[in-house]
């Protein structure tokens, strides 16, 4: 059965390419396209003061790699038009009394007009600009104190930041290890489900049932090849992530392999379960997509689980991808071992055993 399945999968040249090339393409696309580090934010300026002080502030803004000044505006109507068209993410408006208030020692207002359709980008833009404005304000305060002959302004509390595991906060380092989990889930789940359903669809399942194979042997014969193919895909994606994207692999490969095998129990069990619920390959693909999308969204790969409503957080414990995302990030970035990851491995083992048991029982009942 194993030999037959390998021959059937690998004899098709196009299928051979589709088995191993798409995971690498997915890694490259996700690695470059999915980036939470926002830079080159398009900014327009409505400077109604046109003073030396307003130019100093604007120079602070444009000297950072985060902001690109793309337009000088003459009216508020132009600002509204650019925001409506989505050509800029922020319009910075400096009122006509900006310099006068600074010279008088008063608080000078600066208005930010933001495009809030992308809330994540808007929050990042606000944080970046507030940092620039804070630095500019501190310099002004020091100048005022120096002119008055007072002591230099010092902050009462100083913060010394040390970021562990990802010192430069590179978004790619956090996301690329998660692609390994996504690829393994996609390949093993879909191939397992489609392989079994294909036998039903073309009418060869009845021929397999009259062979001396027992149901367990039939299940192993249909799943083991795709487990091995998924392992090969995981190795390809891991090598590409380490050497192409330069993501550090600080932990043990054996710890990662053990977690990968436990995760495959879950994905193969889901694939078998889908095959028992589907009669055609189209139904299997639809069911697989229905499972994959929530699994990714509830895994913590893209959105922090702590930010989700409490009932949804409890639901994530039924998602095997949640445990494996923690595993791959822990092995890659933290270099931790079983002494830290054992709760995730227990969760993967319990979920995998449950899914495989339910799937095998349904498979046997279907055969019966």
Q: Which of 114-118, 140-144, 164-168, 323-327 shows the lowest mean pLDDT across its residues?
A: 140-144
Q: What is the pLDDT of residues 305-341, one digit of tens each?
A: 988 999 999 999 999 999 999 999 999 999 999 999 9
pLDDT of residue 72: 92
The answer to whether residue 7 scores a pLDDT higher than 90 is: no
The answer to whether residue 366 scores a pLDDT higher than 70 is: no
139, 147 Cβ separation under 8 angstroms: no
pLDDT of residue 154: 64
The answer to whether residue 153 scores a pLDDT higher than 70 is: no
pLDDT of residue 347: 94
pLDDT of residue 254: 94
pLDDT of residue 208: 67
The answer to whether residue 350 scores a pLDDT higher than 90 is: yes
| DSSP of 165-234 | S-TT--HHHHHHHHHHHHHHHHHHHHHHHHHHHHHHHHT-HHHHHTSS--HHHHHHHHHHHHHHHHHHHH
188, 271 Cβ separation under 8 angstroms: yes
pLDDT of residue 214: 75
Measured CA distances, 71 to 64, 79, 134, 357 (Å): 17, 10, 24, 63
230, 262 Cβ separation under 8 angstroms: no
Main-chain dihedrals φ then ψ at residue 246, nearest 5 degrees: 60, 40
pLDDT of residue 205: 66
What does the buried/exposed string (b/e) look like for 175-212 if buried means 16 or more CB atoms within 10 Å of the residue's CB?
bbbbbbbbbbbbbbbbbbbbbbbbbbbeeebeeeeeee
Q: Pick the residue with more confidence: 94 or 170?
A: 94
Map tokens 């694939």 to a residue.
271
Cα distance between residue 93 and residue 110, in whole Å: 6
Domains defined for the chain, CATH in brackets: 2-34+170-367 (no CATH), 41-147 (3.40.1710.10)
226, 185 Cβ separation under 8 angstroms: no
| DSSP of 41-63 | EEEEEEESS-SHHHHHHHHHHHT
pLDDT band at 10; cut points 50, 70, 90: confident
Eight-state DSSP code of residue 305: G
The answer to whether residue 145 scores a pLDDT higher than 80 is: no
What is the share, in percent, of the chain residues with pLDDT greater than 70? 93
Main-chain dihedrals φ then ψ at residue 71, nearest 5 degrees: -160, 140
Nearest to 48 by CA among 89, 82, 99: 99
pLDDT of residue 28: 82
Q: Which of 110-114, 155-159, 189-193, 299-303 shows the lowest mean pLDDT across its residues?
A: 155-159
Q: What is the pLDDT of residues 25-59, one digit of tens each?
A: 878 887 777 666 677 889 999 999 989 888 988 99
269, 356 Cβ separation under 8 angstroms: yes
Cβ partners under 8 Å of residue 143, min gap 6? none
184, 230 Cβ separation under 8 angstroms: yes
pLDDT of residue 138: 82
pLDDT of residue 322: 94
Q: What is the pLDDT of residues 201-254, one digit of tens each?
A: 776 666 666 677 777 777 787 788 888 888 888 888 888 888 988 889 999 999
Q: What is the pLDDT of residues 60-119, one digit of tens each?
A: 888 888 899 999 998 889 999 999 988 999 999 999 998 888 888 788 889 999 988 878
Query: Is 347 buried (19+), middle (13-18) or exposed (0-12) by CB count in 10 A?
Result: buried
The answer to whether residue 22 scores a pLDDT higher than 60 is: yes
Task: Provide the 10 A C-beta neighbour count for residue 69.
Answer: 15
pLDDT of residue 321: 93
The pTM assigned to this predicted structure is: 0.79
């Amino acid at each position: 059965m194993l030999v037959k399945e390998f021959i059937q999968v690998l004899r098709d040249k196009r299928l051979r390419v589709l088995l191993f090339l798409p995971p690498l393409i997915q890694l490259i696309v996700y690695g470059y396209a999915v980036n939470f580090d926002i830079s080159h934010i398009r900014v327009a300026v409505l400077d109604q003061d046109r003073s030396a002080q307003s130019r100093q502030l604007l120079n602070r803004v444009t000297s950072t790699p985060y902001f690109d000044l793309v337009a000088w505006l003459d009216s508020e109507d132009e600002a509204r038009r650019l925001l409506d068209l989505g050509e800029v993410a922020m319009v910075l408006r400096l009122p006509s009394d900006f310099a006068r208030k600074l010279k008088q020692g008063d608080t000078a207002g600066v208005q930010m007009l933001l495009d809030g359709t992308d809330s994540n980008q808007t929050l990042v833009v606000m944080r970046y600009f507030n940092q620039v404005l804070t630095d500019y304000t501190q310099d002004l305060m020091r100048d005022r104190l120096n002119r008055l002959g007072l002591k230099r302004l010092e902050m009462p509390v100083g913060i010394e930041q040390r970021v562990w595991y990802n010192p430069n906060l590179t978004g790619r380092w956090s996301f690329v290890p998660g692609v390994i989990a996504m690829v393994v889930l996609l390949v093993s789940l879909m191939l397992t489900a489609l392989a079994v359903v294909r036998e039903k669809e073309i009418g060869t399942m009845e021929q397999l049932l009259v062979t001396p194979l027992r149901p367990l042997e039939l299940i192993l014969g249909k799943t083991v090849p795709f487990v091995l193919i998924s392992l090969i895909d995981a190795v390809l994606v891991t090598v590409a992530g380490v050497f192409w994207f330069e993501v550090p692999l600080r932990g043990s490969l054996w710890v990662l392999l053990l977690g990968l095998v436990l995760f495959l129990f879950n994905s193969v069990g889901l694939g078998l379960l889908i095959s028992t619920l589907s009669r055609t390959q189209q139904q299997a693909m639809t069911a697989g997509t229905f499972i994959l999308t929530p699994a990714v969204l509830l895994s913590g790969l893209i959105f922090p689980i702590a930010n989700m409503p409490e009932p949804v957080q409890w639901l994530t414990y039924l998602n095997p991808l949640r445990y494996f995302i923690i595993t791959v990030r822990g092995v890659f970035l933290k270099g931790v071992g079983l002494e830290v990851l054992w709760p995730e491995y227990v969760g993967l083992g319990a979920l995998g055993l449950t899914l495989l048991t339910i799937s095998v029982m349904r498979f046997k009942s279907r055969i019966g």
